Amino acid sequence: MDDTTLSPDRAAATGASRLDQLRDMTVVVADTGDLAAVAKLKPIDCTTNPSIVLKALQSDEFAGHFDRVMKDNAGKSAQEIADALTVEVGAELVKLVPGRVSTEVDARLSFDTAASIEKAKALIAAYDARGISRDRILIKLASTWEGIRAAEVLERDGIKCNLTLIFSLAQAVACADAGAFLISPFVGRITDWYKKSTGQTYGPEEDPGVLSVRKIYDYYKSNGIETVVMGASFRTADQIAALAGCDRLTIAPALLTELAEDTRPLERVLSSDSATGLERIPMGETDFRWMMNEDAMATEKLAEGIRGFHKDSETLLSIIEKRLG
Enumerate the active-site residues: 140
Cα angle 151-156-160, degrees, rounded to a multiple of 5: 55
Question: Angle at Cα 117 formed by Cα 296 and Cα 32, nearest 5°?
Answer: 65
User: 3-state secondary structure string, 64-119?
Assistant: HHHHHHHHHCCCCCHHHHHHHHHHHHHHHHHCCCCCCEEEECCHHHCCCHHHHHHH
Say if CB 149 and CB 127 are below 8 A apart.
Answer: no
- The CA–CA distances, whole Å, from 310 to 40, 49, 177, 192, 319 equal 30, 10, 27, 21, 14
If you write DSSP's letter for every residue of 139-208 in order, what string do you get?
Answer: EEEE-SHHHHHHHHHHHHTT--EEEEEE-SHHHHHHHHHTT-SEEEEBSHHHHHHHHHHH-----TTT-H
SS3 call for 288: helix
CB-based burial label for 42 (10 Å; 0-12, 13-18, 19+): middle
Cα 154 to Cα 152: distance, rounded to the nearest angstrom:
6
Angle between helices 50-57 and 296-324 (to 10 degrees): 30
As a whole number of angstroms, the distance between CA 154 and CA 63 comes to: 33
